[in-house]
Amino acid sequence: ADLGRLLVRCQDQPGIVAAVSTFLTAAGANVVSLAQHSTAPEGGTFFQRTEFHLPALPAALPDLHARFAEQVAAPFQMDFTLTDAAHHQRVALMVSRTDHCAMDLLWRTRRGELPMTVAMVISNHPDLAEEVRSFGVPFVHVPATRDNRAQAEARVLELLAGNVDLVVLARYMQIITPAFLERVGCPLINIHHSFLPAFIGAGPYAKAKQRGVKLIGATAHYVTAELDEGPIIEQDVVRVGHQHDTPDLVRLGADVERAVLSRAVRWHVEDRVLRHEGTTVVL
């Protein structure tokens, strides 16, 4: 408890680390961990994640925020967030019929492995209702098809509005429109299969099989208007061979998908992931 997290981003320039750490020390905080990154030796963008211990943090936070904004963020033209690590992010999962990713996140959250609260699960199919509710998590069925997309998205936005800090597409097979992204007001993380090289379109595991690929993988990324082109948070692969048929590839792919997604979500809710143009910095 009393663990705070400060994330900053600004144009790289001399004196940032000194200014931030001097501010925290003066405020009575002790730096517990500090990671930083600059995108270039000269003229790059600077990122820093600082965890600090400050007695009675919850009470001190508003004032600390105001003073940091004025004394440090303003002169350095910084973007920053200042949060209490004890405050769990509220997360909505969206899922279609394939359950492995959503179940893995619910399970890990219950085991205490993911510092977050699953606020709700939204699905365009009713299939997973019972299983989700056995975790004590609300399940909402919002039928979605090509024909009622606008209406379905409006219903989902209504459910999410003001209620969540993050949406995880845990194998949600409907398209997310740019209009939805503009209005949702929080980041979305998606998971999808990945191959070397990529196999575009339907049936990618079957195509990978035809080409004799030896590795199948998964990528977790932030959702942007360009489908499956958002900044990558995490990736992993598993080795396969000619002895695996397409259903084997799907099964092995499922294991990689849930491992990669759970790591990406964990890093996000621990405030480790900073977005920058098309990429991420994981501190």
Burial 46-70 (b: 16+ CB within 10 A, else e): bbbbbbbbbeebeebbeebbeebee
**Which residues share a beta bridge with 11?**
45
Looking at the Cβ atoms of 75 and 278, the one nearer to a copy of itself is 278
* CB 245 to a copy of itself: min, Å: 9
- Whether residue 166 contacts residue 189, with contact meaning beta carbons closer than 8 Å, is answered with yes
* CB 145 to a copy of itself: min, Å: 26
Interface ranges with a copy of itself (CB under 8 A) = 12-18, 21-22, 24-25, 28-38, 41, 53, 100, 103, 107, 111, 113, 134, 194-198, 209-215, 217, 219, 228, 231-237, 239, 241-243, 251, 255, 259, 277-282
Q: How far apart, in whole angstroms, are the C-alpha atoms of residue 71 and residue 63?
A: 12
* CB 258 to a copy of itself: min, Å: 10
Cα dihedral across residues 181, 186, 187, 192: positive or negative? negative
User: What residue type is assigned to position 170 of the chain?
Assistant: A
Cα dihedral across residues 190, 157, 7, 38: positive or negative? positive
Nearest to 30 by CA among 58, 7, 2, 62: 2
Q: How far apart, in whole angstroms, are the C-alpha atoms of residue 54 and residue 39?
A: 30
Looking at the Cβ atoms of 21 and 155, the one nearer to a copy of itself is 21
Looking at the Cβ atoms of 115 and 159, the one nearer to a copy of itself is 115
Nearest to 230 by CA among 238, 220, 245, 216: 220
Looking at the Cβ atoms of 184 and 256, the one nearer to a copy of itself is 256
228 is catalytic: yes
Q: How far apart, in whole angstroms, are the C-alpha atoms of residue 211 and residue 221?
A: 26
* CB 280 to a copy of itself: min, Å: 5
Looking at the Cβ atoms of 146 and 239, the one nearer to a copy of itself is 239
228, 245, 248, 255: the catalytic one is 228
* CB 76 to a copy of itself: min, Å: 12
List phi, psi (to 5°) of 267.
-65, -40
* CB 234 to a copy of itself: min, Å: 6
DSSP 231: P
- Whether residue 275 contacts residue 9, with contact meaning beta carbons closer than 8 Å, is answered with no
**Which residues share a beta bridge with 50?**
6, 34
Looking at the Cβ atoms of 98 and 123, the one nearer to a copy of itself is 98
Q: Which residue has tokens 């790059």?
A: 44
Q: Which residues are catalytic?
A: 228
